[in-house]
Amino acid sequence: KAGVTQTPRYLIKTRGQQVTLSCSPISGHRSVSWYQQTPGQGLQFLFEYFSETQRNKGNFPGRFSGRQFSNSRSEMNVSTLELGDSALYLCASSLDAGFKLEAFFGQGTRLTVV
Amino acid sequence: DQQVKQNSPSLSVQEGRISILNCDYTNSMFDYFLWYKKYPAEGPTFLISISSIKDKNEDGRFTVFLNKSAKHLSLHIVPSQPGDSAVYFCVGGGGATNKLIFGTGTLLAVQP
């Protein structure tokens, strides 16, 4: 079956703009989580959605938001982009909430803010 | 607050030898730990996990050891192969927040 799909793969935006990233989880998976990866910081947890509800949130400013649709697809939005938002954004899906089972990651969206 | 720490940013070993990747954690509430492997331009892939009530889990060439009293875990790869060259992330999961907390990763290079 198809894996986790993230679009777009690469994105270049200007400071102050906003951006929306998309994630389609593995079919049947209801939990979607988002991570930010920057050099030297590992993967920082952004938020987790399960059945269209945000279940968990990391320590990121309110400029970072997300949502999940009834088909489990998720979008992440970053408003008023800053240079420091340049990163690889990874989406992970799992069957249930809370990562009791392994999470499957997409290839990520590489966002560059100039 | 870095709850999961991988103090070695990189490790180089010869093909056929043992690779030992180390990880320390501060959150005693983790229910389980995982190791993920990441190749360039790909998302992380799950490698192996261990419950916090176990001290060892083995899967083929990969073994994870957990020392709860020392809040330390390690991943052993024996024998190491060039295809194992990747970034390895140590991850703590479960607990009160039920999130996956990633370490900063260790870049393993297996030399032929």
- pLDDT tens-place string over residues B31-46: 899 999 999 888 999 9
Please report where in the chains the tokens 């929306």 appear, as a residue. A20
- pLDDT tens-place string over residues A60-106: 999 999 999 999 999 999 999 999 999 999 999 988 765 556 789 99
Sheet containing A19-24: give its strands across. Answer: A5-7, A19-24, A74-78, A64-68
Interchain proximity B89–A90, CB inside 8 Å: no
Out of B45, B46, B100, whose CB is closest to A45? Answer: B100
Please report where in the chains the tokens 């180089």 appear, as a residue. B12
Q: CB of B19 within 8 A of CB of B80?
A: yes
CB-CB neighbours of A36 under 10 Å: 23
Encoding tokens for residue B75?
């991943």
Encoding tokens for residue A113?
């803010």
The torsion region of residue B52 among left (phi > 0), alpha (psi -120 to 50) and beta comes to alpha
Tell which A residues from 78 to 107 touch B, by Cβ distance under 8 Å.
90, 92, 97-100, 102-107
Chain B hits for A100, CB-CB cut-off 8 Å, are 94
- pLDDT tens-place string over residues A10-57: 999 999 999 999 999 999 999 999 999 987 778 899 999 999 999 888
Picking from B88, B99, B107 by the largest number of A CB atoms within 10 A of its own CB, the best residue to mutate is B99
Interchain proximity A102–B49, CB inside 8 Å: yes
From B104, which residue of chain A is nearest by alpha-carbon distance?
A42
Q: CB of A25 within 8 A of CB of A48?
A: no
Q: Which residues contact A4 (CB under 8 A, 6 or more apart)?
A: A23, A24, A25, A26, A91, A92, A93, A104, A105, A106, B43
